[in-house]
Structure 1
Amino acid sequence: MTSLRPLPDDVVALLEALDAPPRLAAHLRLVHDVACQLVDWFEARGLTVDREAVLFGAATHDVGKVLYPAELSGPGSQHEQAGYELLLERGFPERLARFARTHASWHAPGVGLDDLVVSLADKIWKAKRVQDLEQLVVDRLGGEPWEAFMALDDVLDRIAASADRRLAYQSSHPTK
C-alpha cells in the first residue's frame, strides 16, 4: 500500500525510540491514513475538527501496546492508560496524549468530536461498523439527523471498501 500517508515525523521518531514492533507501526499508519480521509470529509462539510490533534491521536492511539505486546494480536485494554502515560512522560501535551486513553471510551466524560473521529478511524479501517459510535458522531454533525447519517454512512462505506487491502498490509508486518 504505497499510497498511505506517512506518519508525522515526531511519531516516527517516537516509534523508533520505543523500538515499536513493525505490526504496530503498520497499524498506526493505516489508522492515521483513514483519519486523514475522515478529517478531509469533515472539513469538506464545513465542520471543525482539530486536524493536528486528530491525526496525532490516530497515529499514536495504540502506542501503549509497546508495553503490552500481547495486545497486538489479542484483546486487552491495558495499553490505553499506559499509552497515555507514556506519551505524557515523553513530553507530549495532554491534549494530544489523551487519544491513547479515549479511543475506546466513547461515552466517557469530556470525549468530544475529535476523540470520536479517532475512534471511528480505528474501527472503519478494518470495515468494522459500530452503531453507537457512529450515532455519537451523527449527533455532533448538526443539521437533519437522517441526512447526517446518510452522509456519514456513505463515507464509511467508501473507506470500508478497501479494508481487505489494509488488513493484508497490516498482516504482512511481524508482531516482533
Structure 2
Amino acid sequence: MADTVLSRAMSGTLDSLLLPLPDRVAELLSELGSPPRLAAHLRAVHDVAHQLADWVEQRYPTVTFDREAVLFGAATHDVGKTVHVSELSGPGAAHEEAGQTLLLGHGVSRELARFAATHASWAEPRVGLEDLLVSLADKIWKNKRVADLEDLVVTRLAEASGRAAWEEFIALDGVLARIGDGADERLAFQASFPIYD
C-alpha cells in the first residue's frame, strides 16, 4: 500500500502507538475511498476493543465470546460513514444501515456486518456480549461513559461469572477508567487526519 494519508491513518507507526487495522479492513477502506479521519477513528476504536477483549479473556476465562468478531466489528462499525461523510463531523444514524449494506455487498458475512448496525442500539434484546463490547469500545475510546450500556455489560458479566453485580461494576469501572486515560491521545490522533484526503 502506498504511503498515503489514509494508509498512515490505518497503520502508520510514527504518529501512533495504536494497533494497525487488520489487513482485510484496510483493503476494504482503501477500496471504498475512506476518509482518513474515519480510518483513524476506526483504528482507535479497534485498539480499545483489543484492550477490552484482553481484559474479558483474563478476568473471565470461562466466558465464551467471539474475540475476532469484536475486533472486526470495532474496526468496521462506522464504515457507512464512507457514504454519509457528513456524519463524521455531525449527528446522524444513516451510516448504520448503510454500513451493514456496504459490508454485505463486499462479501462480509451477516454475522460480522451486523456491528455496523448494532453499535448504537445496545438495548435491543438480540444484542450479544460481542455487540456490547463493540458499543463500549466506541464510547470509551474518547472516555465517554454511558451508564445504561455499562449496566448491560455488568449484568452479562455477573451472569457469566456468578459474582455479584457490584463486584463486576467495580472491575469494569477500573478497566474503563484505565482505558479512558488514553482518550486525549486517541482524540488527537483522530483529529490529526483530515476528513478529505
The answer to whether 1:153 aligns with 2:169 is: no
SS, match of residue 173 in structure 1: coil
Q: Please give the root-mean-square deviation of Cα atoms over the aligned residues, in Å.
A: 0.7
CA displacement, residues 49-94 of structure 1 (integer Å, 9 cap, x when unaligned): 2111000000000000000000001100000000001100110001
SS for the counterpart of 2:136 is helix
Return the match for 1:73 from 72, 86, 89: 89
Q: How far, CA to CA, are the matches of 2:104 and 2:21 in structure 1?
A: 19
CA distance in structure 2 between the aligned counterparts of 1:116 and 1:81, rounded to whole angstroms: 18
Give the AA of the match of 1:140.
R
Aligned with 1:80: secondary structure?
Answer: helix
Distance in structure 2 (CA, Å) of the matches to 1:6 and 1:72: 20
Letter of the 2:191 counterpart = S
Are the aligned partners of 1:65 and 1:72 in contact in 2 as well (CA < 8 Å)? Answer: yes
Aligned to 2:189: 169
Structure-2-length-normalised TM-score: 0.88
Give the Cα separation in 2 of the matches to 1:84 and 1:110. Answer: 16
Give the count of matched residue pairs: 176
Runs of 4+ residues deviating >4 angstroms: none
CA distance in structure 2 between the aligned counterparts of 1:48 and 1:68, rounded to whole angstroms:
35
Amino acid at match of 2:193: H
Q: Within 5 A, what are the aligned runs for 1:86-101?
A: 86-101=102-117
Aligned partner letter, 1:22? P
1:144 paired to 2:164:
yes
Task: Please give the per-residue CA displacement for 1:120-170, whole angstroms capped at 9, x wherever unaligned.
Answer: 000000000000000000000022100000000000000001101111110
2:141·2:180 contact (CA, 8 Å) conserved in 1? yes
Equivalent-residue separation in structure 1 for 2:42 and 2:138 (angstroms) = 9
Q: Aligned with 1:110: secondary structure?
A: coil
* Per-residue deviation, 1:109: 3.0
Q: Residue 146 of structure 1 aligns to which amino acid in structure 2?
A: W
How far apart are the structure 2 equivalents of 1:41 and 1:9?
24
Q: How does 1:1-176 map to 2 (within 5 A)?
A: 1-45=15-59, 46=61, 47-142=63-158, 143-176=163-196
Q: Give the secondary-structure state (helix, strand or coil) at the position aligned to 1:108.
A: coil
Distance 1:89 1:14 in 2: 11
SS in 2 for 1:105: coil
Aligned-residue sequence identity (percent) comes to 65
Q: Give the number of the structure whose alpha-carbon radius of gyration is greater.
A: 2
Structure 1 unaligned regions, length at least 5? none
Residue 6 of structure 1 deviates from its aligned partner by: 1.1
CA distance in 2: counterparts of 1:126 and 1:61, whole angstroms? 15
Q: Where does structure 2 lack aligned partners over 5 or more consecutive residues?
A: 1-14
Question: Does the CA-based 8 Å contact 1:61-1:100 persist in structure 2?
Answer: yes
The question of whether the paired residues in 1 share the 8 Å contact of 2:16 and 2:189 is answered with no
